[in-house]
Structure 1
Amino acid sequence: MTVTGIGNDAVYANGYKNTRNVNGKANKAYGSAREYGNYLIQKYDCLRNTDYPVTISGSLLQKAAGDEKTAKWLEYNLALMPGCIEKEKAAVEARGAKIISCQCVINGYDSMTSYICTTDDPDGTFAKENAEKRAKEKKEAEEKKAEEKLAEKKQVERRAEQEEQEESRQSVFEARA
């Protein structure tokens, strides 16, 4: 540990300010939210995890850097985060679904939000069945359309035959007369 400065009942070491509170216990206060954020990133895996990113709002980070109570609350919740995510995954998988993406945002003191996107078709069965059904319906519609065109063509041919027969009858009557 390198001491970088001493002043007003505080010892600055490694960029952090170690102070003594009323009870004589050591209290870490951080010079900036960035320093505190870097400390949290090194300490908690959930802040480095890409499967379920955890984001802390800048205002909360700034408050926690200077307020021990907020810092304790934040670190306590960051320690709980991996277990909470695992429980959520288990709950989603228990109903036969799969988590596509998950993100946790710690907005403020006592305020957290989780965004979880799931699918009820983890192996693609429903999507495959729906695609097959749509293809079958499309094929049936095309066949029906082709049958209608064929029927219409036959009807036109029958009319033409009837007109020919009528003309031949007319010519036979005219020839007799």
Structure 2
Amino acid sequence: MASAFLLSGPLWFFTPIQIVTTVIAGMNCGASSLQSPLTWPLLQDVDVPVHYVGRQTEHLLHGSEIIFPPFNGVCTIANLVLTGIAYYKRNDDLLTSAVADAKLPWTAIAFGMHVATTVFTLTIMAPYNQKLKVASKQLNEGIANKEGKESTSQQQAEKDFREAQKVWKVRNYGRGAIMLAAAIANAIALKI
């Protein structure tokens, strides 16, 4: 009876929104988490000239900056709305309040995890995105100016780039863990 209520009762819209937030959070987590063990080792191959690796990294970061923030934004806003509605409906009739009470903590946790993802990305990951881009640009400018790999500026740019790669890769696991927690909270809220 509860499943029929969820599709026709006053909270009928929770299910489709929660399906969307669960799928998007899972995609966001999977894509981000797989960058560190799959993509980044290829970008750390020392046999590939580092300025080429820098260009690929710039493309990867640019693509990520286009795709992931809107995904996270959709989930953040959707979970905020669902949390607000669940909080508001928790004192309605018996069946509505039971469903709202059960979903409220999980939608709130999912909302919090999406906010945490945003904060983590802006404060911890974005500075390293910028370091990677700056070092890559310096490497490519050096190649364009026909500076050899032995030049001091090229060596420093390569060192900065490689160090930023290592830090970014490790910290990306933290972001992936937060996104995983958001996906799990979304899935639990969907199941209730």
Q: Which has the higher strand share?
A: 1
TM over 0.5, shorter chain: no
TM range (shorter): under 0.3
Q: Which has the higher helix share?
A: 2
TM-score for the superposition, normalised by structure 1: 0.27
TM-score for the superposition, normalised by structure 2: 0.26
User: Which structure has the higher relative contact order (CA within 8 Å, separation 6+)?
Assistant: 2
